[in-house]
Amino acid sequence: MSTEDPKEKFRKNESGKRLTSIIMNDYLTLHQRASQGAFVVWIAIIVPAEIFAGFENVVYGVPESHAALCAGKGAGPLLCGKAEGHGYSTDLCSYARIDIGTAFDGGKDSPTFGLPKPDLLISNNNNCSLLVKWFDVYHRVWGVPHLVLDIPFCYEDQTSNDFRYIMDQFGHLIRTVESLSGQRFDIEKAREAVQNSSEALAEWKRFTDFARHRPSGITAFDSFVQMAPILTSRGTRQLAEHYRLLAEETGEQVRAGVFPVPDERYRLLWDNIAPWHQLRKMSSRLAGLGANITCASYTYCIGALEGRYDPYEFDGTDPLAWLARLQNFSVCPHGLNLRGKAMREVIERNAIDGVVFASNRSCKVYSLMQMDQMRRIREDLGIPCVMIDVDHADVRKYSEETAFTRLEALLEMIDARRAQA
C-alpha cells in the first residue's frame, strides 16, 4: 500500500506545471514581442482579446491579471505602497494600486517586470467603471490614447439594442487599432481565435464541473489559479489544449480517488474575487477543518451568459457577434437577480452546504449586493451563509483570525442544520 499523502499526489498533477510554464511564457513573449516592435495594448479583463489575434503583430497585457499575480507572489503591499507614495488613496482598488505602483517604478519588484509600455489603452465599464479612471492615469501621464468600451449593465439579459451598440463599438475598436498600428484586421484569424476560446471555455466548464463530485474533484482555489491563462492566452490553441488536459487530468484523479480534501465534510461556495494573497493558507486551513470551498461565482461564471452556468458556445458564424453576446461573462456586470439565479443553480448542482460571501473592499461593484444576496440565499434556500472581510490583493486589509472565526462559525451552523434535519 502506498504511503503517499493523497493531497501531495493531487498537487503533483501536470496541469499545475504546465500552467506555470504558460504564464511565464506569456509574459516573456509579451515583453519580447513588444521589444521587437509589436503594437502593445493594455486591456481590462473583459475586453475581447480575440480581436487582437486578427492582427499580424498586436500583443496585449492585462493589468488586473498582472496585479493578481503580484498579489499571489506576495508583492501586493510593496507595490500598493509605491502607488500610495504617489498620492493614490488606500481606499482605491488594490489591483489599481499594485499596477500603478509597478508602472511608475518601471516594473521593479513585479515578478514579471511589469508590462511593456502600451501604445493603446482599452478599458470597459461593465466589470467596473473605475477601470476607466485607472487607465486614464496612464493616458494622462504617458499621453497614450485610451479607448473605452461602454457595455450596459445587465439587470436582465442583454437586450438587442445593447448587443447592436456593443457591435458598433467593436467596429470602432478594430478601426482604431488599424489606424494606430498600421495593420489590417483579418476576421478569419479572429474567427479561429474565437473558436479556440469557445473550446477552451467548454473545457473550463468541464473542469469546474468536477466540483459536483463528492468529495469534490477540485477546490475553488484551483479554479482561481487556473483561470489566469484565460486572461493572458485568450484565443490560442494552447489555451484550449491546456484546459482539455486539465479537465482530463482532473477526471483521472477523481476516478483514481484522489481529492484535494479527501475527508470533505463541508462543501462551500465562495462569492467574490479570490483573496490572492491567501490561496494556499486559506485552502490548507479549511482543508484541516474538513471544509472545501468547491466553487466560486468568480470562476463558474466564465464562459456563460448572464445568470447562467453552462457555456455559451460559438456556432462558427460571426466571431464578433459571439464576443459581443458574451461581453457579460463575469459576475460584476450582473444585477442582484441574475447573480442570484446563477448562484442558486450552482448551489443545487454542487450540493453546497454553505456560502462564504467575501466582502471585498477593493471591489465595490462585486460586493455591494452581497448583503441582500446573502439574506435571500439564507432565507429562500435555508443555506447557512457568512460574510468575511477581505481585500483581493492588499493583505494589509485582511485579518486571517477574524476571517476564520467567522468561517468556523459557518461550519458550526452547517452542523447545527444537519443536526436539526
Q: Which stretches of the chain bind another protein, using CB under 8 A?
A: 86-89, 91-93, 96, 125, 128-130, 132-134, 136-137, 140-141, 148, 150, 152-153, 155, 161, 164-165, 168-169, 171-172, 335-337, 359, 361, 364-365, 367-372, 375-376
To another protein, the closest distance from the beta carbon of 337 in angstroms equals: 6
Contacts 24+ apart (CB under 8 A), 179-184: 180/39, 180/119, 180/120, 180/145, 181/39, 181/55, 181/57, 181/58, 181/119, 183/39, 183/55, 183/56, 183/57, 183/58, 184/55, 184/56
**261 vs 273 by CB, closer to another protein:** 273
Q: Residue 266 in contact with residue 411, Cβ under 8 Å?
A: yes
118 to each of 64, 101, 111, 114, how far by Cα in Å?
15, 16, 19, 11
To another protein, the closest distance from the beta carbon of 259 in angstroms equals: 35
Task: Report the C-alpha dihedral over residues 131, 111, 284, 332, rounded to 10 degrees.
Answer: 10
Sign of CA dihedral 174, 178, 183, 186: positive
To another protein, the closest distance from the beta carbon of 99 in angstroms equals: 12
H or E stretch covering 293 = strand 291-296
To another protein, the closest distance from the beta carbon of 47 in angstroms equals: 14
Cis-peptide, bond into residue 215, ω within 30° of zero: yes
202 to each of 195, 214, 243, 310, 387, how far by Cα in Å?
11, 22, 9, 8, 31
**136 vs 249 by CB, closer to another protein:** 136
**131 vs 246 by CB, closer to another protein:** 131
**97 vs 213 by CB, closer to another protein:** 97
To another protein, the closest distance from the beta carbon of 45 in angstroms equals: 15
**140 vs 184 by CB, closer to another protein:** 140
**14 vs 91 by CB, closer to another protein:** 91
DSSP character at residue 39:
E
Which residues are registered as beta bridge partners of 117?
Answer: none
To another protein, the closest distance from the beta carbon of 411 in angstroms equals: 23
H helices of 271-369, in order, are: 279-288, 297-300, 319-325, 336-349, 364-367
To another protein, the closest distance from the beta carbon of 364 in angstroms equals: 6
To another protein, the closest distance from the beta carbon of 169 in angstroms equals: 4
DSSP character at residue 311:
B
**237 vs 361 by CB, closer to another protein:** 361
**277 vs 334 by CB, closer to another protein:** 334
